[in-house]
């Protein structure tokens, strides 16, 4: 992942055409804030998190009215790259499991930051050591655990509790589509949504976006199937959120690599990149001032120590010139008086 290599965006599409690549919502919002202002940037998060198509259309209409340029910029990106509502329009899209930013990649870069110093062979060894420790820690944490991970248990429990007041009816003889009525607020108004439990799809979009049954899916399992919450964990939650998947992911270990010190007759030379290296120690942190995501700190205004007004200092103060003229006049009058 890189936020500075613009060529990677096109390269990923060409090399991996079948893979679904999403963009970080945080970076999109920073781009909008830099180019179109903070007020327009506040609309990015609601657009990315909404799972309602009518709400999405209303937000886009409002955005187009306020800033046509920002509307064109966001629509050119493509809804499937950063909007949760895209799953309602294209059910073939893979779920993002609630991830809308690149925090995982940023954390990995931060973890491997120390291993980047020195020559390339030492850097590889440092990365292998860090990854080996990380995998060993994950193996120890997931050992003996079963079922759904703790974070998803809390999310699924909240949705299970909210589905108590929902009503579920079959929408056909096939038994694949169901209508769920959800009460909105304290009034009698209800929302009607369609659920297809066989395909793990709901009109709200949250089921297919997170891999966890939404409130309407929970209503189907609770009222129609008479399931318990434990049954939902076992049969309805995506395998991605289970401990056995985590154990399988971290099952293999990193095999140590022979160090070059064990082979004294073999000399490994670094590749000749043919580029002039800049003097000094290489930087470990990217230069944010050259990035469009960089935010210059707000500078406090200059306050004059004479008149206490902002925008100038004591040297350029207008009162200073007036005081000079007054002092010059007083000095001339005193001199003439002494001569007389």
Q: What is the pLDDT of residues 282-297, one digit of tens each?
A: 666 655 544 444 445 5
User: Rounded to whole angstroms, how far apart are CA atoms 27 and 122?
Assistant: 32
Q: What is the pLDDT of residues 100-138, one digit of tens each?
A: 888 887 888 788 777 766 677 777 788 888 888 888 888
211 within a domain of the structure (yes/no)? yes
What domain range includes position 169?
A: 150-241
CB atoms inside a 10 Å sphere around CB 199:
12
36 and 47 share a domain? yes
Shared-domain flag, residues 61 and 78: yes
d(CA 202, CA 119): 52
Q: What is the predicted pLDDT for the residue at 269?
A: 66
Question: According to the model, what pLDDT value does residue 336 have?
Answer: 38
Whether residue 235 is found in the same domain as residue 163: yes
Domain contains 205: yes
In terms of domains, do 168 and 235 share one? yes
**29 found inside a domain:** yes
Length in residues, the chain? 340
Asked if the structure places residue 274 within a domain, the reply is: no
Query: Does the residue 14 lie in any domain?
Result: yes
Tens-place pLDDT, residues 256-277: 666 555 555 556 666 666 666 6
Residue 315 lies in a domain: no
Q: Is the pTM of this model over 0.75?
A: no
**Residues 32 and 162 occupy one common structural domain:** no
11 and 31: one domain?
yes
Are residues 160 and 222 both part of a single domain? yes
User: Is residue 78 one of the residues assigned to a domain?
Assistant: yes
Label each residue of 281-336 as H, E or C.
CCCCCCCHHHCCCCCCCCCCCCECCCCCCECCCCCCCHHHHHHHHHHHHHHHHHHH
Backbone angles phi, psi at 170, to 5 degrees: -75, 140
**Is the same domain home to 11 and 83?**
yes
In a domain, 105, yes or no: no
Show the CA angle centred on residue 336, arms to residues 333 and 338, nearest 5°.
110
Q: Are 235 and 246 contained in the same domain?
A: no
Task: Give how many domains the chain has, as a whole number.
Answer: 3
Least confident of 172-176, 204-208, 250-254: 172-176
Rounded Cα distance, 75 and 253, in Å: 43
Q: pLDDT, tens digit, for every residue of 143-200?
A: 888 889 988 999 999 999 988 888 898 887 777 889 898 876 555 556 788 898 888 8
């Amino acid at each position: 992942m890189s936020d500075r290599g613009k060529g990677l965006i096109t390269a990923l599409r060409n090399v991996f055409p079948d893979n679904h690549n999403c963009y970080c919502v945080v970076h999109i919002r920073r781009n909008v804030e830099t180019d179109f202002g903070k007020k327009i940037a506040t609309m990015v998060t609601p657009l990315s998190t909404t799972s309602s198509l009518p709400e999405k259309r209303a937000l886009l209409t409002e955005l187009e009215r306020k800033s046509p340029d920002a509307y064109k910029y966001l629509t050119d990106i493509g809804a499937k790259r950063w909007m949760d509502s895209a799953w309602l329009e294209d059910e073939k899209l893979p779920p993002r499991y609630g991830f809308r930013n690149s925090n995982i990649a940023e954390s990995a870069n931060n973890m491997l930051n120390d291993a980047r110093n020195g020559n390339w062979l030492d850097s590889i060894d440092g990365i292998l050591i860090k990854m080996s420790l990380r995998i060993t820690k994950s193996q120890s944490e997931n050992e003996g655990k079963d079922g759904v991970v703790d974070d998803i248990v809390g999310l699924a429990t909240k949705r299970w509790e909210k589905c108590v007041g929902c009503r579920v009816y079959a929408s056909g003889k096939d038994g694949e589509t169901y209508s769920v009525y959800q009460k909105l607020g304290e009034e009698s108004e209800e929302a009607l949504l369609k659920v297809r439990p066989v395909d793990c799809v709901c009109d709200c979009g949250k089921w297919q976006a997170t891999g966890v049954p939404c409130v309407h899916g929970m209503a189907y399992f609770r009222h129609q199937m008479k399931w318990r919450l434990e049954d939902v964990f076992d049969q309805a939650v995506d395998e991605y959120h289970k401990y056995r998947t985590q154990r399988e992911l971290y099952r293999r270990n990193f095999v140590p690599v022979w160090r070059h010190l064990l082979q004294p007759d073999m000399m490994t030379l670094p590749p000749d990149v043919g580029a002039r290296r800049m003097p000094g120690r290489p930087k470990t942190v990217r230069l944010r001032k050259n990035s469009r995501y960089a935010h210059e700190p707000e500078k406090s205004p200059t306050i004059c120590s004479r008149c206490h007004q902002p925008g100038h200092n004591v040297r350029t103060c207008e009162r200073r010139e007036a005081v000079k003229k007054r002092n010059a006049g007083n000095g001339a009058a005193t001199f003439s008086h002494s001569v007389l």
